[in-house]
Amino acid sequence: MSCHLLESFRSTFRTLFILGLCALVNVAWSQKNESEVAVKDYKSPCVSHFEKISLEGGNNTTAITVFLKRYLPHLSDTRCEIKLNYRNLSPGGIHYSFVQTFLGVEVYQSEIKVNTDRDHTIHSIFDNSFDTENWRLSTKEADRNSVIAVQDKEAMLCQRVVVGHTEILTKGDQVIYQREVNSYFSPPDSLVWGKIFNPDPLTTSQQVYGGIYVDHNDTNATWLDNELQTVSFMAYFDSSKFTLANSYIRILDFDAPNIAPATSAVNQFFFNRSESGFEDVNAFYHLNIYRQHVHSLGFDIADHPIDVDTHAFGGADQSAFEPTHTPPRLYFGVGGVDDAEDADVIIHEYGHFLSYNASPGSNLGSQRNSLDEALGDYVAASYSKAISLYKSDWVFNWDGHNEYWAGRVVNSSKVYPTDLSSSIYKNAEIWSSALMAIHDEIGRNAMDSLIFQTHFSYAANISMSDAATLLIDADSLLNHGAYYCPIYKHLLERGLVPFYAGNPCGINGINEGTLEDLKVIQDGHSFAVTNLSATDLKLKIFNITGQQIGPEIEFSQTVFRYSDVNLPAGIYLVSIGSPNNKTSSFKWVKVK
């Protein structure tokens, strides 16, 4: 056999082998997967840095690259370089994502994420790079599909392929690692009308699933018809018919069962739930309303196109976001209750799309997976709560909480890390419940803005505690720390941040003003402490992670002034103590 034919045979065998493996993979892409099957992480959590660092040479890719090579020890190997994945702008900052290369080949899951403010200060770094000092690896056989994978501390040259919904790393005929790449869960020119559930028939009728309020295999019923609402929205008109499409969202048919999307010769899309057009209209309406909401908050993560199939997965009770197509896709299944009949399912899946646009390719690692599921649950619940308070702590009120599956909640009392399980979906309730508790205190728009800003800073393999620190930082970037105390309080209640003895929020007996004769005047550049009793006092300054900044300062003068031009902008906690163990503390927001 000739070398050419032998290589062709080997290539065909590898392809068939991979396809056969994919057929055996248990693909469960739905946000409804509540199984306790453990999620296998490719690598250990990333190394997190929250020290604020002033950049030299400006806030640009070159300056960041130079800084990282000097700052991160794994990049000292001259065989290593870093390559820019993307640079994203958010209302609060600039976000850089790099990948490590070794002898010109990408190192798999080696993202280095750097988050800065809009000036010249780094706020956080998440490092997934590898120590390559002892690697003895040739990359001469590398091609465009090659990556370097690390297994049991051994580096190896592998092939990376995506087959269907599965990314697979292979070395020869051996599968090194595989993961699912789905996440679960022209301008419009014509005004049209349609009928929808808003957000679902149980919420508007104030019922729970059961009795006459059941799916009954998509059968229409008077009591469900009564919950339909007529709404107006913009759609595309091509001189002969109206279609559910605009510059951002298109209803298409790209997955079985093959059901053509609804169109209309007139400007009305009036369907009941037994007709396939109803799911098309329901999804199109809610997605457009939510896209406009995100855009109104000043974020561009919804200003990208996405295609939607409301009758997908071969009729299974599944839904998913898939980023591997251009544009990305949303799939909604029709098993059980049709997923696109419930606005919670629709907005949950759209949440994955928003997260992907904020920090592309970062949804790696079990806790990072849970953070994405939690975002979907939070934005779904927040959206529905703005419509009705009935059962507003439930998510998937119509699609779940029934015989098909249990649904989820955003008022869980679970605590991190004690209540972590092997289910990324159950773990998501820790984070989503913290977000909703903050939402209830500071309001929807403020909380939505904070969580979107936070997602711009996410990186692969971060933990929930990392996300908590990023949420606090997002508040400093967007609001100069105005919501620090409600954020800190609810994160602390769920174990997501440690208790700081110097916190200014009156938590656990720490109160402002326990020292008598003490007054504080502050601005964004300095603060002054008036010590009317002239008592010997000790002052400490902490950053938002609880790290003390500089040495303890002793003073006894009547007026003590503090400023530090070299201290980066951000939120600081100032604690003042006296010899008799009385304390006072306050929050200081330093600006540039």
Structure tokens belonging to residue 303 = 């200003």
Predicted pLDDT of residue 514: 52
Q: What pTM did the predictor assign?
A: 0.81
Give counts: helices (H), strands (E), the chain. Answer: 11, 30
Closest CA to 251 of 351, 346, 330, 317: 330
Burial of 71 (0-12, 13-18, 19+ CB in 10 A): middle
Residue 43 is predicted with a pLDDT of: 81
Identify the pLDDT of residue 15.
Answer: 40
Identify the CA nearest to 562 among candidates 539, 546, 591.
539
What pLDDT does residue 542 have? Answer: 87
Angle at 529 between CA 523 and CA 531, to 5 degrees: 160
Q: How far from 80 is each of 75, 133, 189, 492, CA to CA, in Å?
A: 6, 10, 52, 40
Crossing angle of helices 343-358 and 444-456, in 10° steps, is: 40
User: How far is 390 from 394, CA to CA, in rounded Å?
Assistant: 9
Instruction: Map out the domains of the chain with their CATH numbers.
Output: 44-181 (no CATH), 190-493 (3.10.170.10), 507-590 (2.60.40.3080)
Name residues of the chain where pLDDT drops below 70: 1-40, 182-189, 501-502, 508-516, 534
User: What is the Cα–Cα distance from 316 to 161, expressed in whole angstroms?
Assistant: 26
Q: Do the beta carbons of residue 407 and residue 395 sit within 8 Å?
A: yes
Instruction: Give pLDDT, residue 183.
Output: 60
Q: Where are the beta strands (DSSP E) in 447-582?
A: 518-522, 526-531, 537-542, 553-555, 559-563, 570-577
Sheet holding 306-312, edge to edge: 183-184, 319-322, 329-333, 306-312, 249-251
Distances in whole angstroms, Cα of residue 321 to Cα of each of 29, 347, 474: 9, 11, 26
Q: Which residues pair with 522 in a beta bridge?
A: 527
Kindly list the distances between the CA atom of residue 558 and the CA atoms of 135, 519, 581, in Å, as whole numbers in the listed order: 62, 10, 19
With beta carbons less than 8 A apart as the criterion, state whether 391 and 208 touch: yes
B/e letters for 198-216, b = 16+ CB within 10 Å, e = fewer, are bbbbbbbeebebeeebebe
**pLDDT tens-digit readout, 279-293:** 999 999 999 999 999
